[in-house]
Amino acid sequence: MSFRVIYDACAIFGALQRSILIRVGEKQAAFNLRVLLTDEILDEMTRSVQTKYPDFSGEQVRSLRAAILEAIPDSLIVDYGYAVERVDIRDVNDRDGRRGLHSDVLRGPWT
């Protein structure tokens, strides 16, 4: 069984760190990993890139998102809302904490 790892938006925001994590994702079997992403995480990352680097065109950001998904096939998960509700977080307004699901909570077709 492989370890499931969710790349959060802040982890894939910076170019160098994103490059390293994508390369790990490309070789995930060698690291006994299963890299997971969500549309919400990718949306947050692209918004942050456009905010920090306004000279990035919409097309460049869409291309970046597509490149990430192409580099790590089958990483996009959907219908994970039930798992978010199962995570007990003291601050219910902590969006990042609610999204930062522990791998033992993620049980679904993407395992």
Domain boundaries, the chain: 3-78
Give the C-alpha distances (Å, rounded to integers) separating 25 from 39, 65, 67: 17, 14, 12
Q: Name the stretches of the chain with pLDDT < 70.
A: 84-111
Q: Is residue 7 packed enough to be buried (19+ CB in 10 Å), middle (13-18) or exposed (0-12)?
A: buried
What is the sign, positive or negative, of the torsion defined by CA atoms of 90, 76, 74, 36? negative
User: Which alpha helices (DSSP H) does the chain contain, by range?
Assistant: 15-26, 39-52, 58-71, 81-86, 95-99
Run of H or E residues at 5: strand 3-6
Q: What is the pLDDT of residue 55?
A: 94
Q: What is the pLDDT of residue 94?
A: 55
User: How far is Cα 106 from Cα 111, in angstroms, rounded to an integer?
Assistant: 8
Structure token digits, residue 59: 């097309």
Model pTM score: 0.76
